[in-house]
Each structure stands twice: as C-alpha cells, then as structure tokens.
Amino acid sequence: MTWRDILASGWDAIRTHKLRSALTSLGILIGIAAVVLTVGLGQGAQQQVSKQLSALGGNLLIVTPGSSTTGGVRGGFGSASTLTTADAAALTSSTAAPDISAVAPILQSANQSLVSGANNWTTTVVGTSPDWDTVRGRSLAAGRFLTAADESSAAAVTVLAPDTATELFGPLDPVGQTVTINSVPFQVVGLLTSAGSDSTTNLDDQAIVPITTAAQRIVGGTSRTSVQSIYIKAASPSRLSGAYQEANAILQLRHSITAGSTTDYSISTQQAVVQTTSKVNNTLTTLLIGIAALSLLVGGIGVMNIMLVSVRERTREIGLRKALGGTPSMIRRQFLSEASMLGLTGGLLGVGLGIGAAISLRHLITNPVAISVPWILIAIVVAAVIGIGFGVYPAARAARLSPIEALRSE
C-alpha cells in the first residue's frame, strides 16, 4: 500500500459522507479562521504601535518642565519654563551622558500664519537644533536640514514638512522659495519626507526653524534661552534607561535639586505610553487566541467523534481489508489519513475564511489587520496535526480489531 493508496482511501471515505465530513471540518474551520483573524488583528495592532514608535523617533525620552517655585510663589505645572538651551547643551556631553546620542530642544508656536505669494497656511512652527531630524527619525526628501551655522546665526531658514509645502507651493519644488512667517521672510532650504501622524499631531504639517530664530523672531517673550521641551534620543533601545538616569543626574545637578526635594521637570518615555497600548492589545490577543484554541479543541473532539463513528460503521470493511492482507499499521494509517484530511480541509477553508474576514474587516474598522503568511502556514499545519492527534485513538481501535469479529459484524 503506497501513501497514494492510503490518501485515496481516506479521501474516498470523506467523499462518501459529504455532509458529515463538511460538518466535522466546520469545527476546525471556525477555529482556524479565528486564529488567522486574531493573529491578524494582534499583528496589525503591533505594526501600528511600532509605526507610531518610529514616527516618534525610536528610543525617545522627553523632558518637560515641571512646576517652578520662585520666591515662595509656586507656579502651576508648565506655567513657566524651567528648561533652557543650556540644559539641552549639557545633555549632549558624551562623557556625562554616554548613552545619549542626540538632543533636540523644542521651542514651538502653534497657529502661525505662513504666507507665500497668494497662499497662506496656518501651522505649527517648531524651533529646534540641527539634531532634530536624527532625534525624531525624520529624513529629507529634498534640500538640506538646519545646520549649526543656521542656529548660531539665527538664520531665517526653514525646513517644511510635506503637507505644509503642498499647501503653500502646490506641486512646485519648495526648496529655494521664500515663505513669510510672522512678517519675516524665511528661505525654504529643505523638505521632509512623510512620517504620518502619531496619536495627537500630524507630523507632516509643520515648519522647522533654528531654535535661536524661533526665540528671537517668532515666539518672543522675556527669556530667549528657555525651551518648552527637550527630546533626547538614546543610543539604542537597550540603553534607554541609562540615558534616562544620565539625563536625570545632569538636570538634578544643573537645577540644584537635592534628594528629597521635588524636581522642576519630568522625563517621560513615549514607549511607556506605547507599551500600555500594546499591553492592552496583547491581553486581547491572548484572550482571543485562547478562545480560538478552545474552538480548535472542540473541533478536534468533533473529528474524534466522527472517526469513532466511521470506525464502528466500517467494521466489516476493516475486517475485509485485514483478510485481504492489510496489516494493523496499514489500517491505522488509513484512518489517520482520513482524520488528517478532515482537519486539513477544515484548516484550508478556515484560512480562506480568515483571510476573507481580515480583508473585509479592513473596510469596516480603522484598526489594521495583518495577513501573516507564516501564521497561515502554521495554522494549516496545526489543523492537520489536530486531525491526526484526535484520529490516533479511533485509528488505533480500527487497527486492533480482530478480522474475524470484524467480518462477522453487521
């Protein structure tokens, strides 16, 4: 008996009882479809999270000003900036902060009107250092980014995000054009590539200027050295906590904060926010996979049940096959192949249904749904293994039957 003969006899048995086989496969089908869909949702969420992470700039720490206490008057949170450009400069020290690879102080102003000829557009103007692109993980589509020379001379130059450039210049190349911000003509020196949006802001709609220029010409105010926040990029994800401790130590020293007193700044990681999101996602995914596994178990029991019925029904056939020279192991293989085909059929159809559902879900909900090829292959293998696993006992019973008893049965 070749494998081909064994598979043919398994397929024969399935075809003979079409409805019964279909219903049995349905159990596996639902389980596998649930697995494909669940993994798709989970991986989709994971991809979204990592996309957000990279949109934020990986390995990112954000220092924000806390409450300040001046002359006994305790100001509200963020009421006055306690952070300065000097703080930012101190954080770049490679000896005191070896785990910090780049630092970008931020001084930004929302709702600035940008004018170019007849076009005007209201957006956020971000004053920052030449390291901003590194820190935020942004790249340039055209031109150049801000330079140290721009910063030291407070040059009237700007780098535009793609949406802003399109609003102001349409299809024209913005590099080399002039845009007026707060009555000051700025030369456009660069264009950023698209980065999508994080949870709160459109990263593709902003104008980047040197922080010195922003302090002098756009934001104004009394203190020309204060900044609204400082973005810190750690050298690698594993060195993020080192970077955190170094930044904290430097700022404590600079702000004369002793043990026990409250800091006038806070350091947060965007990852903490993202991790919370992924934790929720993971919990949900685990729960759904648990349900899927349960339904696969039920499906497997269905396969076992039907296989036991099949063995009982075909006792005479088993007796005949033994009389004609079928050994116990050949009989066992025949029933195992039948069970695995039930599983496999359910698995293949389940994968089909899962993919179909994933594609239609993409149109119904905003969450991305991934279709993962390795997981689909795993699901198909799992379905066949469930068929075989739950077929072992019925097949063993068939193999054990005595040919005499089997031939005698009605």
Is 296 in contact with 385 (CB distance < 8 Å)? no
Residue that the structure tokens 């995914």 belong to: 285
**For residues 205 and 317, which CB has a smaller minimum distance to another protein in the complex?**
317
| Segment interacting with another protein, rule: CB under 8 A, options 5-13, 31-39, 173-181, 303-311 | 5-13
Question: Looking at this protein, which amino acid is placed at residue 155?
Answer: A
**For residues 10 and 343, which CB has a smaller minimum distance to another protein in the complex?**
10
| Segment interacting with another protein, rule: CB under 8 A, options 7-15, 32-40, 123-131, 155-163 | 7-15
Residue 238: closest CA among 276, 271, 284: 271
Residues 343-372 that bind another protein (CB under 8 A): none
**For residues 320 and 392, which CB has a smaller minimum distance to another protein in the complex?**
320
Is 21 in contact with 14 (CB distance < 8 Å)? yes
Tell me: does residue 2 bind another protein (CB under 8 A). Answer: yes
Residue 125: closest CA among 194, 219, 225, 55: 219
Per-residue contact track with another protein, 307 to 326, x per CB under 8 A?
---------xx-xxxxxxxx
Task: Please report how close the Cβ of residue 318 comes to another protein at its closest, in angstroms.
Answer: 11
**For residues 309 and 370, which CB has a smaller minimum distance to another protein in the complex?**
309
Instruction: Return the structure tokens found at 234.
Output: 């750690």
Tell me: does residue 5 bind another protein (CB under 8 A). Answer: yes
Which letter, b or e, does each residue of 1-37 get, where b requires 16 or more Cβ atoms within 10 Å of its Cβ?
A: eeeeebbebbeebbeeeeeebeebbbbbbbbbbbbbb
What Rg do the C-alpha atoms of the chain give, in angstroms?
33
Task: Please report how close the Cβ of residue 346 comes to another protein at its closest, in angstroms.
Answer: 22
Tell me: does residue 330 bind another protein (CB under 8 A). Answer: yes
Tell me: does residue 19 bind another protein (CB under 8 A). Answer: no
Tell me: does residue 294 bind another protein (CB under 8 A). Answer: no
**For residues 233 and 321, which CB has a smaller minimum distance to another protein in the complex?**
321
Residue count, binding to another protein (CB under 8 A)? 24
Is 291 in contact with 283 (CB distance < 8 Å)? no
Judged by DSSP in three states, 172 sits in coil
Instruction: Return the structure tokens found at 36.
Output: 């494909």
* Other CB atoms within 10 Å distance of the CB of residue 154: 18
Task: Please report how close the Cβ of residue 302 comes to another protein at its closest, in angstroms.
Answer: 22
How many secondary structure helices (H) and strands (E) does the chain include? 13, 14
Residue from the set 12, 113, 119, 120 that interacts with another protein by CB under 8 A: 12
Task: Please report how close the Cβ of residue 349 comes to another protein at its closest, in angstroms.
Answer: 23
**For residues 5 and 173, which CB has a smaller minimum distance to another protein in the complex?**
5
Whole-angstrom Cα distance, residue 294 to residue 27?
Answer: 11
Interacting residue ranges for another protein, rule: CB under 8 A: 1-2, 5, 12-13, 15-16, 316-317, 319-330, 403-404, 407
